[in-house]
Structure 1
Amino acid sequence: MSLLKITHHPPLRLLGCIHQPLFPFITPFTVPSRTLIQSGYRRPGKPREDQFPWQKIKFDLSKGLQGIKNHFTLLKNEFLGRWVGPEGKPILEHMLEQNRVVWEFRGPESLQNWTVSSDEEIGGQSRVYLKLGKNDNTCFLYGTLGSSPPKDGLTRYSGYCTMRSKQLLASFDRKKHHDWSSFNTLHLRIRGDGRPWMVNITAETYFSHQKDDIYSYFLYTRGGPYWQDVKIPFSKFFLTHRGRIQDDQHPLWLDKINTIGFTLGDKADGPFQLEIDYIGVCKDYAHTEDFAYEVYKRNPEV
């Protein structure tokens, strides 16, 4: 007859073992407060914002009442414009329209729809300014380009200046898009100094990670005192993401255009200038190309 030896074990501490690492020689994995997918793009050299969005709001009763009045005025114009036709135009005029001037500069209030920026925001040496031209009939963009990167230890490349239109807003700050589906060509009347520029068009996207997608094409200014009429087909614009050309190309969605912009970054230090008379769209019946670049089949035939 064998005797059983009964040993008393200490009680299991299940909750305590959770807080104690199983392998003390491995450093614990720290998860950042916001993952890379959820966080927005922050330029090098720009400090991180620690404030919540509601802490940036400045409360003012008089401005709030004026803002509500303006929004209801926009809402009224939206309802009345739909009875007339698309964008407040008669249907027949909208169907026969072949040319449309989207942006023109005929006064100081026309510059409020545009914003300028440069690498000065990250410590660069470029400077850009925007004003009206002679007789207040044109837009004059000028400044100085400097390609020397800031000495912050993070930025490797620098030297750019941009001009971009602001996002159209409907009543109560709802997004409003440009509908260019009836046109196929971008029409510009400009006067530059011989520098090459980049024309950038942004369209509405379905997913948040596509917010930095931009359709770009080149703009070569002739230089000299004469005006230059430039027509760029929308089929020539190629897809880029944060300055990098994407392999998967697809045509530009012309029914939901958000903004248009101009970027200078030719690495030629010195002054520059670009004068714009108007920016419009047109219908060129001689241009029949759908898309100028190769489109890959998602399900290729075997």
Structure 2
Amino acid sequence: MALSLKVLDGVFLLNKCHRQNGFCSLFKPLVDSCHPRLYSSYKRPGTAPDRTPPWKKFDFNFQEGVERIKTHFGLLRKEVVDHVKGPEGRPLVEYMVEQVRVAWEFRSEEDLNKWSVSSDAEIGGKSEIFIKLGKNNQSAVLYGTLNTAVPRDGETKYSGYCSMKSKPRLVAFNRKSPYDWTNFNSLFLRVRGDGRPWMINIYTDPYFSHHKDDLYHYFMYPRGGPYWEEIKIPFSKFFFSSRGRVQDNQHALWLDKISTLGFTLGDKVDGPFQLEIDFIGLVKDRAHTEECAYELYERNPKK
């Protein structure tokens, strides 16, 4: 019995260590399935207490854990090799002269898995959004229905949004690795929409925890119709907001700490929508020298 308690304490410490230190994720797969069952506190009222001994609930999958550890070590090896070779695994000269890059393209289900979709259904709304591959697997089709009906929960006042967001890039041991876009000054997209406006959101990896709700926004207005459209948006046009409020203190986008990019539809017009995306790229426009498009004012100007 004492040995079983020590084993369970070790499982708890490993899970706690996994949340605090990425390296401890080496051992996380070995005990990944035991933590939720051992420490679940929910019980339906009136049910008899579970008298099953804890050691009988312990599910130890050694083979799966070893395979995941090998995978993470393989990713770590690739990460070290790329770091020695140059920025993002390319020679320094090639990296410095680069003027065009395709950040995301949509040619397979694997490309779609790099993105996630959400809507106001998460808060009780009725909007729906889906994503699928386009014709001949050459694009991504984002479609659904926008519904501005407010949930009857007595708290929510506004509803009606759908969004698509890229997943953070992960490296060895599930560490987040932000993108470095300092070589570029514009976002370049090839899309085909239905005329409805979309807000483009860029999230940067924050230095401090209280910056986790900071976002940079700008609007995209596809003209609609059967033809493809190429849209170029300078990064200097993106405005800074925090928790949904535009901030008076505007500053340029941190291009060396790009975490995710997303699209949001919330034009308060009920009905179906569709946006088809060929690719999302980056461009260095040498004719564009603007760093920030918005005037910066002092909060307490000296008189």
| TM-score range relative to shorter protein | 0.7 to 0.9
Q: CA RMSD in A?
A: 1.8
1:119 aligns with 2:100: no
Instruction: Verify: 1:55 aligned to 2:56, yes or no.
Output: no
From the superposition, tell whether residues 292 and 172 of structure 1 become closer, same or farther in structure 2 (CA, over 3 Å).
same
SS in structure 2 at match of 1:279: strand
Query: What corresponds to 2:242 in structure 1?
Result: 241
**Helix, strand or coil at the partner of 2:142:** strand
**TM-score for both structures, normalised by structure 2:** 0.79
Post-superposition shift, 1:108?
Answer: 1.0
Find the aligned partners of 2:188 and 2:64 in 1 and give their Cα distance: 38
Quick check: which one's helix share is greater?
A: 2
Structure 1 residue 206: Cα displacement: 1.6
Partners of 2:157 and 2:60 lie apart in 1 by 40
Deviations 1:190-247 (A, max 9, x none): 0000000000000011221110111000000110010010000000000112222111
CA–CA separation in structure 1 for the residues paired with 2:211 and 2:189: 27
Distance of aligned partners of 1:123 and 1:299 in 2 relative to their CA distance in 1, 3 Å threshold: closer
Displacement after TM superposition at 1:59 (Å): 6.7
Relative to structure 1, the CA distance from residue 274 to residue 61 in structure 2 (aligned partners, 3 Å threshold; closer, same or farther) is farther
Structure 1 residues 59 and 268: CA distance shift in structure 2, 3 A: farther
Note if 1:70 corresponds to 2:108: no
Matched residue type, 1:108:
E
Task: Give the superposition deviation at 1:300.
Answer: 5.7
Q: Distance in 2 between matches of 1:296 and 1:56?
A: 55
Gaps of 5+ in 1: 1-53
Residues of 1 paired with 2:180 and 2:74: CA distance?
A: 22
CA, structure 1 residues 299+174, in 2 after alignment: closer, same or farther (shift >3 Å)? farther
Q: Distance in 2 between matches of 1:56 and 1:120?
A: 28
Task: Tell me the equivalent position of 1:255.
Answer: 256
Q: Summarize deviations over 1:152-203 as a string: whole Å, max 9, x none.
A: 1010000000000001111111110110001100001100000000000000
Q: Which residue of the partner structure matches residue 179 of structure 1?
A: 180
Secondary structure class of the residue paired with 2:84:
helix
Structure 1 residue matching 2:220: 3-state secondary structure? strand
Aligned pair count?
249
Percent identity of the aligned residues? 60
- Find the counterpart in structure 2 of residue 167 from structure 1: 168
Alignment-derived partner of residue 24 in structure 1: none
Q: Distance in 1 between matches of 2:201 and 2:120?
A: 17
Q: Which residue of 2 aligns with 1:198?
A: 199
Aligned mates of 2:147, 2:125 — CA distance in 1: 7
Per the normalisation by structure 1, the TM-score is 0.79
Q: In the alignment, which residue of structure 2 is the partner of 1:269?
A: 270
Verify: 1:84 aligned to 2:85, yes or no.
Answer: yes
Q: What CA distance in whole angstroms lies between the structure 1 residues aligned with 2:118 and 2:302?
A: 47
The secondary structure found in structure 1 opposite 2:169 is coil
Q: Which amino acid aligns with 1:55?
A: P
Read off the aligned partner of 2:230 and give its amino acid letter.
D
Give deviations 1:71-96, integer Å, cap 9, x for gaps. Answer: 11110101111222111111111111
User: Deviations along 1:23-82, whole A, 9 cap, x unmatched?
Assistant: xxxxxxxxxxxxxxxxxxxxxxxxxxxxxxx63899744432222122111101011112
Amino acid in the other structure paired with 1:250: H
Shift of 1:290: 1.0
Counterpart CA distance in 2 for 1:181 and 1:198 is 22
Structure 1 pair 246–59 and aligned structure 2 pair: CA distance change class (3 A): farther
